[in-house]
Amino acid sequence: MAAPATKNIGDLNGKWVLNKTLSDPTEPALALQGVGWMTRKAIGLATVTLDVKQHLAPPSPPSTATDPVTHIDIDQTVTGGIQGNAERRCLDWEARAHSDWLFGSVRGQTKFVSGADVQGWVAETYGAFLKGDAEGGEWIEDDAEKGGPAGETHVLNYVKNVDEGKGWTATQVWGFQKIGGERRYVRHVVVADKEGKKTVEMKMVYDFIPE
């Protein structure tokens, strides 16, 4: 279902299911990230659910700061016997190491950004696709979307794989868009190979699942 009016980038708490009809296929991005064929096919057939908990707490290591920042903890479940991943994002733009069975060893960083940031330096640095697309996929920037601590409307996440021989990067912008006349939680993703010569762009659209 569409995202409730109470949900914005400052409150993503709850369960969200990837809408495969409205989203782009995941296989091209997973292939560029070195995920095997059978796993890619299984993920493409599976239902992917995100259980999101968003809260304030002191930053995670290696930061030694004590002032609270936003954390977004996501536990992913996947049907078909596929192991889900856990995402632990601390929104202070500090680079942190993470390792899992699907994507290997990575370093990632996350923070809130504004619509102006997305249209400006974010798109210039990481790819114009992150701006949103003209075919009914433009980001909503209304006052009601300004859920970040300084009125931001988006989350930016950047990840670089550090495994030998890989080195791909993945950049995501999260926000809300009107799709098919309904307001949806959306991620725009740009995955690039180590040299930045090959990229895959992908839109991920989520349905909100009420408790």
- Residue-wise pLDDT for 31-86, tens only, equals 999 999 999 999 999 999 999 999 999 999 999 999 999 999 999 999 988 988 89
* Residues 160-178, mean pLDDT to the nearest whole number: 97
In the predicted model, is pLDDT for residue 135 greater than 90?
A: no
In angstroms, the CA 127 to CA 28 distance is 17
CATH number, domain 14-209 = 2.40.128.20
pLDDT at 137: 73
- Residue-wise pLDDT for 76-107, tens only, equals 999 988 988 899 999 999 999 999 999 999 99
pLDDT at 29: 98
In the predicted model, is pLDDT for residue 1 greater than 90?
A: no
Q: How confident is the model at residue 134 (pLDDT cuts 50, 70, 90)?
A: low
pTM of this structure: 0.96
In angstroms, the CA 122 to CA 151 distance is 17
pLDDT at 58: 98
pLDDT at 136: 59
Give the rounded percent of residues in the chain with a pLDDT score beyond 90. Answer: 93
Asked if 67 contacts 58 with a C-beta cutoff of 8 angstroms, the reply is: yes
Residues with Cβ within 8 Å of 197's Cβ and at least 6 positions away in sequence, in order, are: none
The highest-confidence range among 80-84, 128-132, 137-141, by mean pLDDT, is 128-132
Q: In what order do the strands lie in the sheet with 14-18?
A: 86-90, 69-78, 48-57, 14-18, 199-209, 182-192, 169-179, 154-161, 104-113, 96-100
For 22, 65, 119, 190, the CA distances from 194, given in Å and listed in that order, are: 29, 32, 24, 13
The chain-wide mean pLDDT, for the chain, equals 96
- Bridge partner residues of 14 (DSSP): 52
pLDDT at 169: 98
- For 159, the token pair is 């990840």
Work out the widest C-alpha separation in the chain, in whole angstroms.
45
Domain boundaries, the chain: 14-209
- Residue-wise pLDDT for 193-207, tens only, equals 999 999 999 999 999
Strands (E), the chain: 14-18, 48-57, 69-78, 86-90, 96-100, 104-113, 132-133, 137-138, 154-161, 169-179, 182-192, 199-209
